[in-house]
Amino acid sequence: MRRAEPRLQRKLLAWLLGPLMLLLVLDTAAAYWTSRRFVNIAYDRALHEIAREIVMHVKGGESQPRLELSQTAADILLMDADDRLYFRVDAGNGAMLGGDIGMPPPSAVPVDAGGNGNARFFESTLRGEPVRMVSARMPINETAGAPVVHVQVAETLNKRSRLAWEVVASVVLPQLLLIVMAAIVVWLGVSRGLDPLKRLRSAVSDRSHLDLSPIDTHDVPGEVRPLVDEVNDLMARLSRTFDFQNRFVADAAHQLKTPVSGLKAQIELALRENDPDRVRHSLAQLYLSADRLSRLVRQLLSLARNEPGALDTVQLQPLDLNAFALEVSMEWVPHAIKRDIDLGFEGVEHPLVIDADRDRLRELINNLIDNAIRYSQTGGRVTVRAATTADGQYGLAISDDGPSIPVAERQRIFERFHRLLGTHEDGSGLGLAIVSEIATLHGARISLEEDVDGVGNTFSVFFRPRRDGSPAP
Ligand SMILES: Nc1ncnc2c1ncn2[C@@H]1O[C@H](COP(=O)(O)OP(=O)(O)OP(=O)(O)O)[C@@H](O)[C@H]1O
Ligand SMILES: [Mg+2]
């Protein structure tokens, strides 16, 4: 099953919104804490003022202070549209002078309550409701020695909470709006930004599987350009491989048609013969034709095996070119003797180690020696040389003294099926094409020149020495 890939748009939004929302939560908490502090400062002052007003209603001397506050005056003093207020006044000796019996005595005031002067402010609960309280000790009037009373006023938190939340909302709501707008802008922006990618996708999905032309990079964003370039490069390589294979199939079919028709004609002829000697002769001809055909098929397969795309399957191993060229040349001696050709080898004293695929290199040397022997005149001389060149490369040269290949043909004979006009020897024109492919797979270069003595041809292949110079196994 295909794993759902996170989409770019969602990923970007998650990256943007995640931290922003976290910041918003922290900001809300900080805003609430700060506004609560300022709201308390403002309303605490009013609460303190009420406490002072209540104390102004305490009359009498040191010995017996009393609260002279009528219910109506108390109602007016404690009237508030949003909150309920409670108070309690205690004399210095601890006697309660008036107020709400449900309020705690002065001794219950927490010591760590914050305050200013001799007033202390703190949060508490009263009748099951959270309240803000002020607890203060005050003289009942300005005269010196006036008795001191303890007054407490409590107020529920409705207006404080409401104001605090109003402040928070005024800070947080614009921020929330900003985040929503940013999210919309990012969503639309990314969506627009991805338009060229959508076009690219349809450009690829709409094309035929046979269309290997490059994708148009005109409208492609810079970030995706390297990817498209790589895809185009891959298409170009695929196209070359397909071209090669198509040409190969066409060539192979064309080349096989003639010999197979020839075989059929020979068989028909042989079937019509009654004379056993002539039948034997026809069979011998048939054998030769079948042999030629099988060589052609082998060469076609070799051509396919060494096509440029085969690089991945080539296993290059360290190999001594000097010893290997000698070994392969030796195998040709009987054949050369049969054709009365003097096959010689000139090597060097030390190994010439290169990276090579043994079987393919053998095929390369075989094809060159085969040509040299085949196209030399009888009684001629063929020399295989292995040497280090002036620029440090390792060269393998095969010279013959047959007819020189015209300069104009020196490039074309490496093409498949190309043969020189007037060549009477058997052959299909594939040998040098295979040599050229194998050289390319080895990163080697081929050159064809007139032989140094001016007679015949020299085919040279130049290999790069093995980099670390380790000896051949
Ligand atoms: N050493 C040579 N001397 C002269 N002509 C050569 C030599 N090598 C190649 N040629 C010419 O180049 C042509 C192509 O050679 P190539 O080896 O590709 O094919 P071929 O020898 O004709 O056939 P085969 O596929 O059997 O090798 C030959 O037909 C021949 O005309
Ligand atoms: Mg040949």
Ligand 1 site residues (CB inside 6 A) read 299, 367, 371-372, 375, 400, 402-403, 405, 413, 419-420, 423, 427-433, 457
| Residue 43 in domain | yes
Query: Which residue minimizes the CA distance to atom 10 of ligand 1?
Result: 371
Domain shared by 298 and 337, yes or no: no
Q: Among residues 305, 337, 359, which one ends one of the domains?
A: 305
Test site for ligand 1: of 299, 303, 363, 375, most ligand atoms within 8 A of the Cβ: 375
Which residue has the CA at smallest separation from atom 26 of ligand 1?
427
Rounded to whole angstroms, how far apart are CA atoms 419 and 417? Answer: 6
In a domain, 334, yes or no: yes
Nearest CA to ligand 1 atom 7: 371
What is the CATH number for 282? 1.10.287
343 plus 300 within the same structural domain = no
Q: Pick the residue whose CA is nearest to atom 28 on ligand 1.
A: 419
Mutation choice for ligand 1 from 432, 435, 438, CB with most ligand atoms inside 8 A: 432
Residues ≥6 apart with Cβ < 8 Å to 389: 395, 462
pLDDT attached to residue 472: 47
Return the pLDDT at 116.
Answer: 62
Strand order in the sheet with 114-116: 96-99, 85-90, 148-156, 129-139, 119-126, 114-116
Whose CA is closest to atom 4 on ligand 1?
Answer: 375
Q: Which ligand is nearest to the CA of 377?
A: 1
Does residue 181 sit within a domain?
A: no
Residues 159 and 285 in one domain: no
Residue 398 CA: nearest ligand 1 atom is 1
* 438 CA to centre of ligand 1 in angstroms: 16
Q: What is the pLDDT of residue 143?
A: 77
What atom in ligand 1 is closest to the CA of residue 433?
A: 18
Ligand 2 center to residue 402 CA distance, Å? 14
| Residue 159: predicted pLDDT | 94
Instruction: Note whether residue 60 is domain-resident.
Output: yes
pLDDT of residue 103: 87
**365 and 283 share a domain?**
no
Which of 110-136 are b and which e, b meaning 16 or more Cβ less than 10 Å from the residue's Cβ? eeeeeeeeebbbbebebeeeebbbbbb
Residue 368 Cα to ligand 1 midpoint, Å, equals 9
466 Cα to the center of ligand 2, angstroms: 29
- Quote the ligand 2 centre to 240 CA distance (angstroms): 26
The alpha carbon of 441 is separated from its chain's Cα centroid by a whole number of angstroms, namely: 30
Biggest CA–CA distance in the chain, Å, is 165
Residue 413 belongs to domain with CATH number: 3.30.565.10
Main-chain dihedrals φ then ψ at residue 250, nearest 5 degrees: -65, -45
Which atom of ligand 1 has the smallest separation from the CA of 376?
3
Domain boundary among 166, 201, 217: 166
- Let me know how long the chain is: 473
Q: For each successive 10 residues of the chain (473 residues), what is the average pLDDT?
A: 62 87 92 93 92 89 80 89 92 85 79 68 91 90 81 94 93 91 88 85 88 86 89 91 84 87 91 90 91 91 84 87 97 95 95 95 97 91 95 95 91 91 86 95 93 84 82 49
Ligand closest to CA 437:
1
Between the CA of 433 and the centroid of ligand 1 the distance, in Å, is 10
Task: Indicate whether 51 and 147 sit together in one domain.
Answer: yes
pLDDT of residue 83: 93
pLDDT of residue 428: 87
Per the structure, the count of domains in the chain is 3
Final residue in a domain of this structure, among 117, 149, 166:
166
State both tokens at 174: 């614009």
Are 42 and 149 in the same domain? Answer: yes
161 and 116 in a single domain? The answer is yes
Does some domain include residue 173?
no
Any idea which ligand is nearest the CA of 411? Answer: 1
Residue 423's pLDDT is what? 82
> Does residue 294 sit in the same domain as residue 328?
no
318 strand-pairing partners:
355
- 15 and 159 belong to one structural domain: yes
Do 450 and 342 lie in one domain? The reply is: yes
Tell me the CA–centroid distance for residue 432 and ligand 1, in Å. 7
Q: Does one domain contain both 340 and 296? A: no
204 exposure class (CB count in 10 Å sphere: 0-12, 13-18, 19+): exposed
Same domain, 42 and 114: yes
Q: What is the CATH number of the domain that holds 118?
A: 3.30.450
Which atom of ligand 1 has the smallest separation from the CA of 400? 1
Q: Is residue 349 part of a domain?
A: yes
Backbone angles phi, psi at 469, to 5 degrees: 65, 20
The Å distance, Cα 252 to ligand 2 centre, comes to 17
Query: Is residue 192 domain-resident?
Result: no
Give the alpha-carbon dihedral of 65, 66, 67, 70, to 10 degrees. Answer: -150
- Give the pLDDT score at 344: 96
Q: Which atom of ligand 1 is nearest to the CA of 420?
A: 31
Q: Is 198 within a domain?
A: no
User: What pLDDT score was predicted for residue 189?
Assistant: 87
Burial of residue 179 (CB within 10 Å: 0-12, 13-18, 19+) is middle
Residue 67 is which amino acid? L
How far apart are the CA of 352 and the centre of ligand 1, in A? 28
Q: What's the domain range around 275?
A: 225-305
